[in-house]
Amino acid sequence: MSAQRLDGKARAARLLGEVEQRVGACTERGVRPCLAVVLVGDDPASQVYVRSKEKRAAEIGIEARDHRLPATTTTDELLALVAALNADRTVDGILVQLPLPPQCDTQRILLAVDPAKDVDGFHPDNLGRLMLGQPRFVACTPQGCMLLLADAGLPLAGARALVIGRSTIVGKPMTQLLVHADATVTTAHSRTRDLAAEVARADVVVAAIGRPEFVRGEWIKPGAVVIDVGMNRLADGRLVGDVEFSAAEARASAITPVPGGVGPMTIACLLNNVVLAAERRAGLS
């Protein structure tokens, strides 16, 4: 038996179609949804990623304003830009592409973003609201994972879910979303003693480790749903996830591919957050 492929590309296209409708409703009210993207330095992967976000945005009528700064940019210079974007009434969402160069104080900069424009959902205010079960913006990757999980059709209530990874961007918010969906959630990480045993009893596995094919297919419980957040570029140029895909696919009931799984959902959810912010400005929500 082979698993259902959770097609993130197709699901993202469907979500973007819905977002496009809502962009239209905002625009009719004179509010053109606008995302400001701040990119510091010239990391090629970040440039590719930012370009793909801006392309998707343009396709559905969201304006993307690019702010590219040199790799030598200081914290104060970034804080000044963020302050200007906060004050700009035509900007709905602000995305500061991570990682920032080492001389930049990332926490201070993320804290400076107006929480009402924090479409990444990285501000402590938004993370705290998520923990309270009253989210404003849900971080894009976990939001996308929840949509893909819904497609798998497995009831989350009472299910054993394992989140591997405890980052602020993925693991922690993912754990919260699963708890609020009434799953029984375990958060595993680099210090977890017996990861294989944790994986073996999980009905849902969300892998966000950042190591190629670290989760072995044979660990997966037969019938489990596997969401692979990993995106690892190998020396030969191939992109693989954190899960050993083909062996996991033989055991899982549903699994996300890499590429074409979580990645496209992250971008679609970002634009979903931008239109949410614009709807608030337009008085539509």
Min dist CB 25 to ligand GUE, Å, is 25
Smallest distance, ligand GUE to C-beta of residue 175, A:
18
Query: Which 214-273 positions form the footprint of Mg ion (CB under 5 A)?
Result: 258-259, 261-263
* Angle of CA points 161, 163, 168, to nearest 5°: 140
Task: Reply yes or no on whether 53 is catalytic.
Answer: yes
Contacts 24+ apart (CB under 8 A), 81-88: 81/38, 82/38, 82/109, 82/112, 82/113, 83/112, 85/36, 85/38, 85/117, 86/112, 86/113, 86/114, 86/117, 88/36
167 assigned to a ligand binding site: yes
Footprint of ligand GUE on 73-112 (CB under 6 A): 95-98
The yes-or-no answer on residue 97 being catalytic is: yes
> Which of the choices ligand GUE, Mg ion, none does residue 49 contact, using the CB cut-off of 5 to 8 A by kind?
ligand GUE
Q: How far is the CB of 259 from Mg ion (least distance, A)?
A: 5
Closer residue to ligand GUE, CB minimum distance, 120 or 279: 120
Name the residue whose CB lies closest to ligand GUE: 263
Identify the residue among 118, 120, 198, 279 touching ligand GUE (CB under 6 A). 120
d(CA 260, CA 250): 19
Q: Which residues from 241-260 bind ligand GUE, rule CB under 6 A?
A: 258-260
Identify the active-site residue in 92, 118, 120, 203. Answer: 120
Task: Give the span between the Cα atoms of 243 and 236, in whole angstroms.
Answer: 18
Distance of alpha carbon 51 from the chain centroid: 16
Strand pairing partners for 4? Answer: 254
165 is in an annotated binding site: yes
Which of ligand GUE, Mg ion, none does residue 121 bind to, with CB < 5 to 8 Å depending on kind?
none
Q: Does 140 bind ligand GUE (CB under 6 A)?
A: yes
Binding mask 108-147 for Mg ion (x = CB under 5 A): ----------------------------------------
CA torsion through residues 52, 55, 57, 60, sign? negative
Q: 113-117 — which CB contacts under 8 Å span 24+ positions?
A: 113/82, 113/86, 114/86, 116/277, 116/280, 117/85, 117/86, 117/91, 117/92, 117/93, 117/277
Query: What does DSSP say about strands 232-233 and 239-240: parallel, antiparallel, or unpaired?
Result: antiparallel
* Cβ nearer to ligand GUE, comparing 31 with 165: 165
User: Is residue 239 involved in binding ligand GUE (CB under 6 A)?
Assistant: yes
What are the residues whose beta carbons fall under 8 Å from the beta carbon of 204, sequence distance 6 or more? 149, 154, 156, 159, 160, 161, 162, 178, 183, 224, 225, 227
Distance CA 172, CA 18 (A): 28
Catalytic status, residue 120 = yes
Q: Kindly name the residue from 92, 97, 176, 228 that is annotated as catalytic.
A: 97
Active site residues: 53, 97, 120
Summarize the annotated binding site for NADP(+) as residue ranges: 165-167
The residues binding ligand GUE (CB under 6 A) are 49, 95-98, 120, 140, 231, 239, 258-260, 263-264, 266-267
The residues binding Mg ion (CB under 5 A) are 258-259, 261-263
Summarize the annotated binding site as residue ranges: 165-167
